[in-house]
Structure 1
Amino acid sequence: MKGISYSRYGGPEVLEYGEVRDPKVGPDQVLVKVRAAAVNPVDWKCREGYLDSLLDAVFPVVPGWDVSGVVVRPGASVTEFAAGDEVIGYVREDFLSRGTFAEYVAAPVRTLARKPRNLSFEEAAGLPLAGLTAYQVLVKALRVARGETVLVHAAAGGVGSLAVQIGVHLGARVIGTASERNHDFVRGLGGEPVAYGEGLAERVRALAPDGVDAVFDTIGGDTLKTSAHLLAPEGRLVSIADPEVVAHGGRYYFVRPDAEDLGKLSELAEQGVLSVNVQETFPLERAADAHRLNQEGRTRGKIVVTVDRDDAEEAS
């Protein structure tokens, strides 16, 4: 089958399009014909070796953890899905090798949920990792309650844009940092935008003089330090970007695959609570360009790689 792979750590130039090994389907796995796969910052961080201390890389590595597609064949013990079902997944294992940037992926059933019927395959591919991150941080780590004020950083990005929508759905007031060109976009999601940069603390305090109840940090560094001083008494701080959050009394969080949580996100999408903004799509053979664009860090919503349907049909 066709796919993207890399045989060593490095920049986007190490990504190669060509033949990759066909996946074996274990008892607890589902063979999925990939229709789209989203790009996430963790993808290029893995590719460059930043997660080598956490995850073994079995080269050649097929990158990608997000997927939307159609079930071809469930494994012997799988009863949750049948051939023809449309699914989404955060297909992360505890090593790097069998990713979603290919015509087919063998996905552990614990990583999958049914695809929202009202989303395109491209939109649906952008929901799993970013949506799970937003949902798990807001609901499980920060325990956001109705009436609270939440500060979400990078509110126009993949995780941030979904966090704004989930926070509003939970009944919270959501303040979101974003560049000025994205302020209308953040307002459209239900958030109150504030600009990045010098004076951020003063702008947030003007909106929340008594401090914010919770901060969802997606940036780290100086932004994290500033955030710690914006908390109300008993306020909570979680970062997905900087482990130093612990030194500021907060918690570092790494998203995990969870079929139940992913199913809830799918339901929220079908109810019209969640939408996924796709900034740009690339064909599979241009995955390196998708990585480059994502690595620039100025994405509004998601960048998605699509698999040619005709090619996938022929491969099956």
Structure 2
Amino acid sequence: MSLNLPESAAVGARPAEVRQVVLTEALGDPTALKVRTAPMPLARKGRVVVRVEAAGVSYAEVQMLGGLHPFPPKLPYVPGYDLVGEIAEVGPGVTGWSVGDRVAAMPRSGAWQECVEVAASGLAPVPRALDAGEAVALVCNGVTAWQMLHRGAKVRPGETVLVQGASGGVGSVLTRLAVHHGARVIGTASPAKHDQVRAMGAEPVDYRGDLAATVRAVAPDGLDAVFDHIGGKGITTGWRLLARGGRLISFDSSVRGFQSGQWFRPHLPVLRRVAGWTLLRAVGATGGRVAKTYYVRPGDKFRADLAALFDLVAQGVLTPHVDARHRLDRAADAVRALIEGRVVGKQVLVP
């Protein structure tokens, strides 16, 4: 029996309310994350309601918490960039998806709750056998890593690459994928995480101090690709470390040291530098080097690349590292761990 409006499908008893994490103020303090109840969402036209099994915790939430994300939702709102779960309700006009299907979605906000309404067009299938936490570690972070490696930089076996933050959510997947692909990987991390970076098959270097000199000492011929999530002046260091024909991919910017509300300022230096290098490349003044910015997007390529990642997990080639799993009421702990740099892999919320 359907418990939804006409033309929609549902399964089981429909709860009246769901628990959710709400960001109330963008002040940089995780105590601004509150657990509340809200009415159970309804699947509107072209949309579905997903019962969340696991939701990812990412650096985007750290930026949003500090009022430093370039495109923040209006406060108050439910954070949560990506999720894995089961369709509980299908809205009118949705085809190709049914109640009970296991899916991944990347709504960019709203995932930190028990049930969430998302667009059906952005869904991707998830194998039943895959652990929900490991699966969600691949939704945004994994696809970002895959696409930067294979679509953006188009790294070839035997090339030497630098992964900034090799122990992080994106960096750890990118490092494993690049090593599996046959690349030589130099990964930046704090000394306390060097053993974990070595275990992934990479060569760890300390990101503090003179990074350029450290990298040149181990890669004197230069780098074929640099993957940078720091931004700021550090992106210039990565550019100068590139060999002829090298590729730099910037996929984020650090917000450390910026004031709440300076939502776009941390990201401007990267955009300016990439734009400048692109102009120089157009007149043949970069030695074949190229710089790009990257932003993961839903769509057919997203679905295809996520499926490729799931295949690697099924083959035993890739095991996403879940650093910790937290209940919704411990979301602040997960975010605080990211802020303090204590994370290796992915933080996950389990409603």
- Aligned partner of 1:278 in structure 2 is 322
Q: C-alpha deviations, 1:217-270, integer Å up to 9, x for none?
A: 022234323212211012111112244345263222222223333222222222
Partner of 1:141: 152
Cα 1:64–1:137 change in 2 (3 A) is same
- Does the alignment pair 1:103 with 2:120? no
The question of 1:60 aligning with 2:76 is answered yes
Higher strand proportion, which one? Answer: 1
Whether the aligned pair in 2 keeps the contact of 1:112 and 1:262 (CA below 8 Å) is no
Alignment correspondent of 1:265? 309
| 2:19 alignment counterpart | 2
CA gap of 1:128–1:178, structure 2 versus 1, over 3 A, is same
Change (3 A) 1:268 1:111: farther
Residues 117 and 270, structure 1, Cα contact 8 Å, conserved in 2: no
Distance in 2 separating the partners of 1:182 and 1:227: 21
Tell me which amino acid in the other structure corresponds to 2:166.
A
Task: Determine if the alignment matches structure 1 residue 231 to structure 2 residue 242.
Answer: yes
1:302 and 2:346 are equivalent in the alignment: yes
For 2:149 and 2:46, locate their aligned partners in 1 and report how far apart those are by CA, in whole Å. 30
User: In structure 2, what is the Cα distance between the partners aligned to 1:74 and 1:265?
Assistant: 27
In the alignment, is residue 27 of structure 1 matched against residue 71 of structure 2? no
CA positional deviation for 1:210: 0.7
User: TM-score, normalised to structure 2's length?
Assistant: 0.79
C-alpha separation in 2, matches of 1:296 and 1:116: 33
Equivalent residue, structure 1, for 2:161: 150
**d(CA) in 1 for partners of 2:230, 2:211:** 14
Distance 2:238 2:186 in 1: 12
Aligned to 1:77: 93
CA contact (8 A) 1:155 1:178 kept: yes
Cα separation, 2, equivalents of 1:289 and 1:226:
33
Report the residue type matching 1:35 in the other structure.
E
How big is the shift at 1:60?
3.1
Other structure's SS at 1:62 match = coil
Contact 1:91-1:112 at 8 Å conserved across structures: no
User: Quick check: 1:255 aligned with 2:296?
Assistant: yes
5+ long unaligned stretches in structure 2: 1-17, 254-266, 278-290
1:89-116 deviations in whole A, cap 9, x for unaligned? Answer: 2223xxx5xx011110112233322224
**Within 2, Cα distance between the matches of 1:56 and 1:137?**
26
Distance, in Å, in 2 between the alignment partners of 1:60 and 1:108 is 21
After the TM superposition, list the runs of 4 or more consecutive aligned residues in structure 1 that deviate by more than 6 angstroms. Answer: none
Residue 39 of structure 1: aligned partner:
57
State the distance in 1 between where 2:217 and 2:127 align: 39
Letter of the aligned partner of 1:13 in structure 2? T
Native 8 Å contact 2:165 2:187 kept in 1: yes
Is 1:204–2:215 an aligned residue pair? yes
Q: Which moved more, 1:132-141 or 1:79-88?
A: 79-88
- What are the within-5 Å matches in structure 2 for residues 123-138 of structure 1? 123-138=134-149
Written as runs of structure 1 = structure 2, the 5 A alignment for 1:153-232 is: 153-232=164-243
TM-score under structure 1 normalisation? Answer: 0.87
Q: Does 1:291 align with 2:309?
A: no
One-letter amino acid matched to 1:80: G
Q: Is the 8 A contact 1:165 1:274 kept in 2?
A: yes
Q: Does 1:114 align with 2:130?
A: no
Percent of aligned positions that are identical: 41
The CA deviation at 1:118 is: 4.7
- Taking only aligned residues, the RMSD between alpha carbons, in angstroms, comes to 2.1
Give how far 1:4 is off.
0.9
The secondary structure found in structure 1 opposite 2:140 is: helix
Uncovered stretches (5+) of structure 1, i.e. residues with no partner: 308-316
Give 1:84-99 correspondences, 5 Å limit: 84-92=100-108, 99=110
Q: 2: CA distance between counterparts of 1:54 and 1:121?
A: 28
Give the secondary structure class of the aligned counterpart of 1:126: helix
Query: Cα deviation per residue 1:5-50 (whole Å; 9 max; x = unaligned)?
Result: 1343332222111212422313332221111111101012123322
> 2-side partners of 1:152 and 1:79: how far apart?
40
Distance across 2 between alignment mates of 1:154 and 1:18: 34
